[in-house]
Amino acid sequence: MATEIEPGLFVRGRAAEQPPLRLADYKLVAFDMDSTLINIECIDEIAEVVGRKAEVAAITEAAMRGDGVDYRLSLHRRLALLRDVPLSALEAVYTRHLQLNPGVETFVRACQAAGLKTLLISGGFTYFSERVRARLGLDFARANQLDVVDGRLTGTLVPRPWGEVVDGAEKRRVLLEVAELMGITPAQTIAVGDGANDLPMMAAAGLSIAYHPKPAVREQAMVSIVEGGMDRALKLLGG
């Protein structure tokens, strides 16, 4: 059972039983992107261009809640609805709608100052993740790459050497792979997310932080921030 230590800030498990936690005890932090580092679900905003935002957003919401939805299938379903959308629409989403969530920069900078490596693992798209990575100065990033022909989306993804889709299983695998390459244990990692497809990597990490999460994620995360910015986690991490 979670304990509310401040309005909208909950802890459970190790986070509640073994205070204080310290950033210096960790070496790697992995972030989801959409609705975690940033304020939007990019695929929903792209869909608005073709008048299909409500349809796509409903599929996204079900996948993020974990309502028995296969993430890969749901992503392919949504992508098919975006066929022929011009790249200019993605640029408009980035420039007009995408913002960092409150407290993200403060939290990321604190992690970097404490010596943690930073990793973005997204079921979203490289068009946005690489820009967010550069904006925040993150060390690593993994996301899906949209297939584009003649400046328009084909409604599919570009196959990658590691597989076609970044889903929950891939997020977990990447977190553990980077930890192994760094020579650290999973216990020295932090995972931050909001949706059901973040749960596998959050379960593998030494500390899981849910930012304005879906109910299923809030029920399992060690730290849940349901009000305010991501920097509120620093109250528990010596920041």
- Which of 25, 34, 139, 150 is the catalytic position? 34
Of the chain, the percentage scoring pLDDT greater than 70 comes to 96
**Could you read off the pLDDT of 161-190 as tens digits, one per residue?**
656 689 999 999 999 999 999 999 999 999
- Residue 90: HSE in the Cβ half-sphere, 13 Å Cα cutoff: 21
> What integer pLDDT is reported at residue 162 of this predicted model?
58
Residue spans of alpha helices (H) in the chain: 14-17, 42-48, 53-65, 71-80, 87-96, 104-113, 126-136, 168-182, 199-204, 215-218
Contact predicate 121/174, CB 8 Å = yes
Question: What class has domain 3-40+100-235?
Answer: alpha beta
Average pLDDT over residues 221-231: 97
Q: Please give the pLDDT value at position 238.
A: 74
In which residue are the tokens 């889903």 written?
Answer: 167
Mean pLDDT calculated for residue range 202-227: 96
Identify whether 32 is a catalytic site residue.
yes
Element containing residue 191 per DSSP (H, E) = strand 189-193
Mean pLDDT of 209-213: 97
Q: What is the pLDDT of residue 161?
A: 65
In the beta sheet, which residues pair with residue 101? none
pLDDT at res. 20: 73
C-alpha to C-alpha distance for 133 and 150, rounded to whole angstroms: 26
Catalytic site residue from 32, 194, 198, 231? 32
* pLDDT score at 4: 92
Which residues does residue 86 pair with via DSSP β-bridges, in sequence order? 152
d(CA 186, CA 172): 10
What's the pLDDT score for residue 174? 96
pTM of the model: 0.94
